């Protein structure tokens, strides 16, 4: 009797110890996953080049590659162009042969085999390797200034030998930098990009979504005290030093430094402009994170002399990628993107709290992906027709 009761008591106290321990483990697991989740959030994945470096500064948390397809969005500042509609819908010249370079900012270990899936005829791939000074193409110094130093090096070195269009990208096919609407794929994006439109626009940021960049993202007058964006207090100096002129107060444009530029856009400036920016990037004692990042907000100025370059998202998908959503589809895609984002967040915790909730979330996510895929196919189908593209665009100008 005594023994068994003793054992029972012993078991009971062990049991409570176990419960306590389990509670501790569970709560630290939740904390860990919260941190992990945050660490996986787009802002911290941003550095694809020289990623050895830790993130500095506080950034905006609420970031994703989802577009805002709200019909209420308006054309910002100088983008409005009354004659744009006709110009944008000039038929494709099947007979023109464009020369296109794809300039890639990579590290030695990057796998760029995905570029084989890009459907652009005679695409000439020029791979810069930032950490291999023996590579055929490399920046003057290793791992400095992120993609910006590579892009300026290319524009300087190829100044007299530029193709009709140069496309500048990072090493990855899929990353949050690429819009979800563009099937989260750079190969998809480039295969659907309307090169004639690029010629007309001179400079086009491959990312369309406004998140972290548009419309009035950077205020160059802000100092470290009143800014929450790591690079913002550096923008005034960066702009002045690279362009030798007083910066505009507001800079805005889709983020992430992946874009297409024409020969003319690059030759707006003398070759010495690119030398100047190369030197600036090499000599600055700012971290690569800052010196690379400030350039994200200056490309539109470099290629077009425009401080704010924020086209209406759904219009841009239709014109530039021939992905044309009707009004209903836009609303549906928009709300599904929001639900997806919420589910993804809940899903991680859900799996911890109860497998069932996690599974339900996953089921719904799969369902959403299937609907989105169907919407995309449909939008691509509509986008094939020149007339439909005109109709989709005209209702924007009509309202
Ligand atoms: C396409 O062809 C038309 C007529 O032949 C010409 O006027 C136009 O400049 C061409 N567009 C491009 C981008 O070459
Ligand atoms: C355009 O490219 C095609 C196929 O690469 C070639 O046969 C044709 O001669 C080219 N035309 C011009 C005008 O360069
Ligand atoms: C989008 O990407 C998936 C693979 O991630 C592929 O199966 C699908 O065919 C792509 N959709 C389109 C329209 O290309
Ligand atoms: C830019 O920032 C300054 C200082 O914080 C502020 O006074 C000004 O109103 C801002 N400009 C715009 C257009 O928001």
Instruction: Using the mean position of ligand 4's atoms as its centre, give its distance from the Cα of residue 10 in Å.
Output: 68
Q: Is the pLDDT of residue 398 over 50?
A: no
Residue 55 has a pLDDT of 30
Q: Which residues pair with 205 in a beta bridge?
A: 259
Percent of the chain with pLDDT over 90: 63
Q: Is 76 helix (H, G, I), strand (E, B) or coil?
A: coil
Higher pLDDT, 126 or 91: 126
Instruction: Using the mean position of ligand 3's atoms as its centre, give its distance from the Cα of residue 183 in Å.
Output: 6
Higher pLDDT, 41 or 235: 235
Tell me the pLDDT band of 62, cut-offs 50, 70 and 90: very low
Mean local confidence (pLDDT), 71-87: 36
Answer yes or no: is the C-beta of 106 below 6 A from any ligand 3 atom.
no
What's the half-sphere exposure (Cβ side, CA atoms, 13 Å) at 355? 0
Q: Which residue has the tokens 């996690």?
A: 358
pTM tops 0.85 = no
Q: CB under 6 Å to ligand 1: residues?
A: 93, 96, 196, 199
Instruction: Using the mean position of ligand 1's atoms as its centre, give its distance from the Cα of residue 117 in Å.
Output: 28
Residue 359 has a pLDDT of 81
Residue 91 has a pLDDT of 42
CA 339-345-351 angle, to 5 degrees, is 115
Q: What are the domain boundaries of the chain?
A: 77-321, 327-383
Angle of helix 235-243 versus helix 288-296 axis, rounded to 10: 70
Higher pLDDT, 88 or 255: 255
Which residue's C-alpha comes closest to atom 1 of ligand 4? 219
Which residue's C-alpha comes closest to atom 11 of ligand 3? 183
Asked whether 51 and 44 are in contact (CB, 8 A), the reply is no
Which residue's C-alpha comes closest to atom 4 of ligand 4? 222
Residue 14 has a pLDDT of 59
Tell me the pLDDT band of 346, cut-offs 50, 70 and 90: confident
Mean local confidence (pLDDT), 121-132: 96
Instruction: Using the mean position of ligand 3's atoms as its centre, give its distance from the Cα of residue 98 in Å.
Output: 26
Mean local confidence (pLDDT), 134-163: 98
Residue 343 has a pLDDT of 85
Task: Give the chain's count of helices (H) and strands (E).
Answer: 15, 7
């Amino acid at each position: 009797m005594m023994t068994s009761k003793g054992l029972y008591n012993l078991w009971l106290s062990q049991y409570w110890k176990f419960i306590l321990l389990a509670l501790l483990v569970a709560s630290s697991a939740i904390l860990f996953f919260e941190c992990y989740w945050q660490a996986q959030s787009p802002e911290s994945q941003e550095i694809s080049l020289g990623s050895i470096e830790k993130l500095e500064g506080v950034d905006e948390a609420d970031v994703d590659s989802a577009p805002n397809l709200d019909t209420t969005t308006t054309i910002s500042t100088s983008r409005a162009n009354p004659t744009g509609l006709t110009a944008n819908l000039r038929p494709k010249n099947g007979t023109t042969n464009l020369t296109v370079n794809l300039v890639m900012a990579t590290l030695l270990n990057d796998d760029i085999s995905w570029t084989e899936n890009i459907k652009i005829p005679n695409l000439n791939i020029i791979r810069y390797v930032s950490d291999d000074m023996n590579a055929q193409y490399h920046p003057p110094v290793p791992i400095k200034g992120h993609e910006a130093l590579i892009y300026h090096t290319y524009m300087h070195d190829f100044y007299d030998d530029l193709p009709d269009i140069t496309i500048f990208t990072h090493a990855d096919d899929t990353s949050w930098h690429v819009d979800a609407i563009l099937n989260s794929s750079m190969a998809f994006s480039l295969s659907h990009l309307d090169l004639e439109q690029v010629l007309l626009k001179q400079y086009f940021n491959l990312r369309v979504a406004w998140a972290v960049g548009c419309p009035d993202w950077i205020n160059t007058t802000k100092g470290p005290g009143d800014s929450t964006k790591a690079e913002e207090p550096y923008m005034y100096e960066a702009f002045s030093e690279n362009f030798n002129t007083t910066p505009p107060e507001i800079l805005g444009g889709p983020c992430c430094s992946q874009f297409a530029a024409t020969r003319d856009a690059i030759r707006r400036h003398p070759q010495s402009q690119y030398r100047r920016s190369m030197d600036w990037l090499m000599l600055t004692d700012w971290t690569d994170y800052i010196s690379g990042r400030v350039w994200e907000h200056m490309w539109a100025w470099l290629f077009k002399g425009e401080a704010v370059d924020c086209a209406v998202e759904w219009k841009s998908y239709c014109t530039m990628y021939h992905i044309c959503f009707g009004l209903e589809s836009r609303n549906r895609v928009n709300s599904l993107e929001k639900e997806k984002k919420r589910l993804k967040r809940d899903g991680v915790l859900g799996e911890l709290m109860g497998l069932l909730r996690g599974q339900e979330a996953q089921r719904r996510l799969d369902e959403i992906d299937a609907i989105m895929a169907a919407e995309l196919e449909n939008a691509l189908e509509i986008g094939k027709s020149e007339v439909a593209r005109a109709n989709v665009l005209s209702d924007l100008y009509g309202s």
